[in-house]
Amino acid sequence: MYKGGKIFASLIIFAALFTIPFFYNMGKVNAGPDVALNTAAIQQLPASEQQCVESPEFMRANHMQLLNQWREEAVRNGQTVYVNSQGKEFEISLQDTCLKCHATESASKPAVLNNPVSTTAGVSNPALNESPEFCASCHDYSAVKPLCWSCHFEPKEATK
């Protein structure tokens, strides 16, 4: 074979490039994100209130569009009530509606305990924390960076 050495070296590089995922993940456990859908905050709610704003399937696929719509409604149109597909009314608020249930308990994640953003009740407020577990678990897993925190952040002075 003419220039066999170079060709084989190149083929090894080619094979290595295309098998990166096999080596990168070698020996790792295929653990998806741990989404806490049954937090204490949710369990305390009456059964009729335990359903999210829309169905879980809808939320999984369209939560970003819903949040976007909520932002338009609340910030630009001054509309603060959302009527869902079942005709039920919700207050349009990330902090007061979404995070009422979806704030995660910091006890399960010691790093959050030291975070000044966590309230005394031991509940971290995802809106004030760059990495709340509920949002971050899936968003980190699929490398999608939500833009929520570019507005909903804790002012630097407040943490002092």
Partner 1 sequence: MKVLFSFLAVILLILVATMGAFITNLHYVFGIIIPYLAFAMFVGGFIYRVVKWGRSPVPFRIPTTIGQQKSLPWIKQNKIENPTSAFGVIVRMAMEVLFFRSLFRNTKTELREGQNGPELSYGSAKWLWLGSLFFHWSFLIIIIRHLRFFLEPIPFAVQILESVDGMLQIGLPAIYLTDVFILVAVTYLFLRRIIVPQVKYISLPADFFPLFMIMSIAISGVLMRYFYKVDLVAVKQLAIGLATFQPVLPTGIGPMFFIHIFLVSILFAYFPMSKLMHMGGIFMSPTRNMISNNRMVRHINPWNHEVEVHTYEQYEDEYREKMKKAGIPVEKE
CA angle 159/131/109 to nearest 5° reads 90
Q: Which is nearer to partner 1, 19 or 119 (CB)?
A: 19
Find out whether 100 and 90 touch, Cβ atoms under 8 Å: no
* 156 binds partner 1 per the rule CB under 8 A: no
Contacts of 12 (CB under 8 A, 6+ apart): none
Interface region with partner 1, contact rule CB under 8 A, candidates 39-47, 83-91, 116-124, 143-151: 143-151
**What is the nearest approach in angstroms of partner 1 to the Cβ of residue 66?**
10
Find out whether 125 and 119 touch, Cβ atoms under 8 Å: yes
Residues that bind partner 1 (CB under 8 A): 1-4, 7, 10-11, 14-15, 18-22, 24-26, 28, 30, 32-33, 60-62, 64-65, 68, 138, 140-145, 147
